[in-house]
Amino acid sequence: MKKYLNRLFLIGVLSFVVLNVIAQDDNYNPIYTAAPSLSIAPDARGGGMGDIGAATLPDVYSQHWNPAKYAFMTSRAGLGVSYTPWLRKLVNDMALIYASGYFKLGEEDNQALSASLRYFTMGDVLKTDFNGYEQGTISPYEMAFDVGYSRKLSETFSGAVALRFIMTDYKTGSGEEVNGTAFAADIAGYNESYVVINNVECLLGLGFNISNIGTKISTADDSESNFIPTTLRLGGSLTYPLDDYNTLALNLDVSKLLVPTPPVKGEDESEDEFKLRRDDYKAISSISGVFKSFGDAPGGFSEELKEIMWSLGAEYTYDNRFSVRGGYYYENEMKGNRKYFSFGAGLKMNVFQIDASYLVSTSGTSPLDQTLRFSIGFEMEGLRNLLK
């Protein structure tokens, strides 16, 4: 359904700013980036555990979380598609559509090629001016396409790189161009080893992914460039076999945006002085911004700690076929205030796997609050055998 939005509200939607959900105060200082859809958890399995995936057991959706996990996939090839509604309480035509796949290379089965396509549609918008006159229909969107290569560097460790092309299209009804492009890369690593706990051999997974290391993107008609969401993600996972048929996996992810913190106006600072500092902030290069992001928060070390987000999740699996999941995601009130529980379930057959998840926000600021999302994945070798 087409929505009548004025220019101010359109810009707010494009920036993913949910109005009237957070009381603005002197301590509120989130980090804004262009193309924020790159940070949305795309699949129902990771989403069902509080947005976790850096070190969970490898699956077809690993391209977003940690592409190095593909080298440990046991099947030769796979393809997955996910659908995530967005701002479902307000509109019904905004969504993230995500497709990913991989293919193992060589007879040694220790390397893989992978790719994914991410398309975030903001729906059809019938734009009006401040006087209420129609100015045409627009269909803004964000898109990213990437390819990755992963390889086992030892029996327990794999590394990966991925290259990504990012495009945003924010055309307005008057024909004004508010779009841009960017290029980025991911660097990831994943380790699988076994540890003994209570005389039981458990699988320990450790992973990292530095994603979206790349150029800045222009999203304004004056060619002002903005940071993309470069992110450091660290994860750990412990899979404990309860018996021959039942397993329990406990997972933890910790992440931080590698983007400089916006400056805050000082009490005795003039508007001109603050403007100069803002201009200096906008002039920071993307690579310099990665290094500055570890020590530039106006509130010092305590604010740097508040920029760290974390997730806790668990997954119970029966006979490697049926799974139930749950998790919790935390972001500090000063940096966005996203806090929510998520729940999910999955069914895995010889050829395909279906997953679903549901999110319940505890802070009232999540665009995915009370939203159901779905993923379906296919094992291509099993599908080929089925069609013979």
In a domain, 35, yes or no: no
In a domain, 337, yes or no: yes
**The pair of three-digit structure tokens given for residue 153, joined into one six-digit string:** 């560097």
In a domain, 23, yes or no: no
Lowest-confidence pick of 111-125, 143-157, 173-187? 173-187
In a domain, 24, yes or no: no
Write out the DSSP string of 226-268. Answer: E----EEEEEEEEEEE-SSSEEEEEEEEEEEE-SPPPP---TT
In a domain, 32, yes or no: no
CATH no. for residue 182? 2.40.160.40
In a domain, 34, yes or no: no
Domain span at residue 356? 3-18+41-387
pLDDT score recorded for residue 108: 80
Mean pLDDT rounded to a whole number for the chain: 86
**pLDDT tens digit string along 103-140?**
999 878 899 999 999 999 988 777 766 666 666 677 88
pLDDT score recorded for residue 230: 96
If one counts the domains in the chain, the total is 1
The structure's pTM equals 0.87
pLDDT score recorded for residue 231: 97
Lowest-confidence pick of 253-267, 344-358, 371-385? 371-385
In a domain, 382, yes or no: yes
In a domain, 29, yes or no: no
> Hey, which bits of the chain come out as E strands?
3-5, 77-85, 95-105, 111-121, 125-128, 134-138, 141-152, 157-169, 180-197, 200-214, 217-218, 225-226, 231-241, 246-257, 308-318, 322-330, 339-348, 352-361, 372-379
pLDDT score recorded for residue 381: 74
196 vs 171: which has the higher pLDDT = 196
Q: Residue 17 pLDDT more than 50?
A: no
Lowest-confidence pick of 40-49, 74-83, 235-244, 378-387? 378-387
